[in-house]
Amino acid sequence: DSGVTQTPKHLITATGQRVTLRCSPRSGDLSVYWYQQSLDQGLQFLIQYYNGEERAKGNILERFSAQQFPDLHSELNLSSLELGDSALYFCASSVASDRRLYEQYFGPGTRLTVT
């Protein structure tokens, strides 16, 4: 158990819909990363938040957005869903210190199926 929690574990929805994925980082971790794992694209970085502020963006679609709240949990919002958005979405967290900044701990993921 990494200490990172993600809900829900599975999500099935229809095209055109909007969903919200939730992530709670490990206690004390200020940084949250979102990654997408799909069969055709592999594991891709989407976006990172650090202490409530967006730090970096990867190949994240405009239909997707995220935020990190004062209690440090994060939500990834996916809208106007398409079949191709079906994937496993991972959240990872990291301690913000020189010694541990590079190590990310991953949650169990949310499997999104768009029908």
Partner 1 sequence: AQSVTQLGSHVSVSEGALVLLRCNYSSSVPPYLFWYVQYPNQGLQLLLKYTTGATLVKGINGFEAEFKKSETSFHLTKPSAHMSDAAEYFCAVSDGDSSYKLIFGSGTRLLVRP
Q: Which two tokens stand for residue 65?
A: 């957005």
State yes or no: residue 101 binds partner 1 (CB under 8 A): yes
**Beta 74-78 vs 19-24: how paired, if at all?**
antiparallel
State yes or no: residue 102 binds partner 1 (CB under 8 A): yes
- One-letter amino acid for residue 97 of the chain: S
Query: Within positions 80 to 99, which residues make up the interface with partner 1, using CB under 8 A?
Result: 90, 92, 94
Task: Return the residue of 21, 81, 104, 112 that touches partner 1, per CB under 8 A.
Answer: 104
State yes or no: residue 52 binds partner 1 (CB under 8 A): no
State yes or no: residue 42 binds partner 1 (CB under 8 A): yes
State yes or no: residue 74 binds partner 1 (CB under 8 A): no
Q: Are 78 and 112 in contact (CB under 8 A)?
A: yes
Q: Are 77 and 18 in contact (CB under 8 A)?
A: yes
